[in-house]
Structure formats: C-alpha cells, structure tokens
Amino acid sequence: MEYVQERITTLHGFADEPPAAPTERTAVVVPMTGREHRTDAAEHVFSSLATLDVATVIVALRAPRERVESIAEWLSGFAIDIELFWCGGPRLAALLDEHGLDGESGKGRDVWLALGPASDHEFVVVHDADALSYSPADVRRLCAPLADGFSFVKGYYARIERNQLFGRLFRLFYEPLVATLCERHDAAVLGYFGAFRYALAGEIGLTGSLARELRLGRGWGLEIDGLATAFDEAGFADTAQVDLGIDVHDHRSVSGADGLAAMSREVGRALLRAVEGHGVRPAYDTLPARYERTAARFVRQYAADATHNGLEYDADDERAQVGDYAAAIEPPEIDDRLPAWTDAPLDPNEVRAAVRADLAAAKD
C-alpha cells in the first residue's frame, strides 16, 4: 500500500466502496465509433451506466450513415436516457462549414461537439466505450472530487492484460518525451504534464464551466489539449487524479493509419504545441535522439518491473517502438484546435438541432 502524493492531489483507491458523488448533476459523454457497436465492452459500459442516476448520457458517434439507425436502435435498448450525437451528418457539416469550423473528423472533434450541450450541466464525465473492465464506480470516483472543489480530475490505472504491460504510447512515448524536455527546461507546464500517472487516460471529470473552456484538436491529441486547458484554468491546486484500478480495453497495433505510431504524431504535436505556448523552446534538431536515450532508460525500468511481477516483456520490441515514435517528434504545425465553447461562433443548441435533423433523415 502506498500513500504518495504528487504535485497534483492523488486520490487512491483504498476503500472498496466508491465515494458519494453528485451523479444526478452530471452529464456523461461517451465517444464511440461504429466498430464498437454491439461489442462486449460497449454492452458492458452502457449496461453499467444504466445502474447510475446521471443527468444524461451523450454518445458522440462517428459512423457512416448506413449504420446510424441500427446503432440508435441498439442504444435505445439500454435502460437509460441516451442522447445520440451523430457527428457525421450533412446538416451538421454544413452548419460547421458556415462558421468556419468544418474539417477533418476525429475523436477530438466528436468529444468537442458533445461537450457543448454537456457543459450546461454542473459536472461532466468523459470516458470511452471500449473498456471491458469498466465499472459504474468509475463515474462516481471521477465526479466526487468535483463536488469537493476540484475543477479537473484525471483517471489513472494499471494497463496489465494477458500477462503483459500495455499502455505503450504513454509508457514509451509520452512519459520519456516529457522527461527529456524536463532535462533542459524548467517550466511549470512540464511539471504539470509530468505529474499525472496516466496522462493519456481518456477518463476525466470536470466542471461544466471548465468544459466550456476546453480547446481540443480534432484527433488523438485531445487528452493533451485537455491537460493544457486544465493547466491554465485549474492549475496544480484544483487538479486531482484518481485511482480506477486495472484497465482492460481494446489494443492497437503500432503500424497502420490508426496505429500507435500515427497516434504518436498527433500526441507529440499537441504536447509540443502546448509547451511552446508556455515559453518552452525545444531543440528539435537533437530532441529525437535525446528522447531515444531517455526512453532506453524507461525500457530497462519497465523490463525490471515486469520481471519482478512475473510478466512477459519483449524489450527488443519495445525498443523498436521507441524508434517508430522518435520519427514522430517534429515541430508542431499550425494550431488547428477547435475553439472553446465560450468563444465559439455558434451555440450548442444549433449543433443539437442539426444533429437531430440528421438523425431523423438517417432513419427515413
């Protein structure tokens, strides 16, 4: 048992029962793609949510039109009020284009769209739909600190499955890259980014007012973009992280369009953009090589941890992944984040109306 506190408040899972939480004042946002339709994980997530007294569940769906009706019918079978937010309809695209906000789709865009109406509620919890280990206690653990005065809560957990360590993008890319930057830069934002036990976790809780301030990129960098806003708006004092136990969910290959190497490029871009925005000027000509040296230390440490716990560990494969991730380290491109809802040129109710019209047309 450990009681270690970080620079942000760390809330451990000592008790079997989760704390009391104001779930009835909380909107739960669940980003989901068509591939998660009817999976065991998604069935488990929505069945578990049905046991909670939450204000609303908003499913931010990215799926082709021909699948929307069957997904809507499936979601209607759960004993909970779910608002389906289809993020791919033509009326929604036209509305966003009218206001200069249309562009590439992605998880960040989906979550941003759903946060508009969700932020009308006092508290918001966001989590994925692909966790086989999901528990309704997760919502209570993410929400309870908000009622105690925190503004931003990030979940953390162990990624252990099939007798192996997972969480590779965090372990092998994010964590060593932040450590490498800290070697030469003494910036508060780096201390904040390095304080989280699982900075890339998609499970967060935040106040509705903070949700309206989030500026998110369109793709896989959304967790970093969320941390950047939380640093500015909540800071160390009003941020907490909470133990969610052991997480088991879908895994990705390293290669491919949706693989970890492609994700690392977006995560790296978001991270470097965020630190540059707070005065850090990385030496990009040497940063990839320095990152690889730091990551080699992490591989050795993780190998020792795996051996100590009787886990399988392929150090050569992990070092090969580090090489793939190093290629993703480059100066960030132009800032293409979506605006905070407090600054957006349209109202969330306009978005909701367009989404509802698209859903009605998709069912015809």
Structure confidence at residue 1 (pLDDT): 61
Mean predicted lDDT score pLDDT of the chain: 95
Query: Does residue 323 have a pLDDT over 80?
Result: yes
Query: Does residue 76 have a pLDDT over 80?
Result: yes
pLDDT in tens, 204-228: 999 999 999 999 999 999 999 999 9
Secondary structure of residue 329 in the 3-state scheme: coil
- Residue whose C-alpha is closest to residue 126's, from 92, 95, 94, 153: 153
**H or E element, residue 82:** strand 82-86
Question: pTM of the prediction?
Answer: 0.96
Cα–Cα distances (Å) from 53 to 43, 112, 281, 330, 332, in that order, read 18, 24, 47, 45, 42
pLDDT in tens, 44-67: 999 999 999 999 999 999 999 999
pLDDT in tens, 283-314: 999 999 999 999 999 999 999 999 999 999 99
Q: Environment class of residue 31 by beta-carbon count within 10 Å: exposed (0-12), middle (13-18) or buried (19+)?
A: buried
Q: Residues 214, 337: contact at Cβ < 8 Å?
A: no
Distance CA 286, CA 330 (A): 10
CA-based radius of gyration for the chain: 20
pLDDT in tens, 11-46: 999 988 999 999 999 999 999 999 999 999 999 999
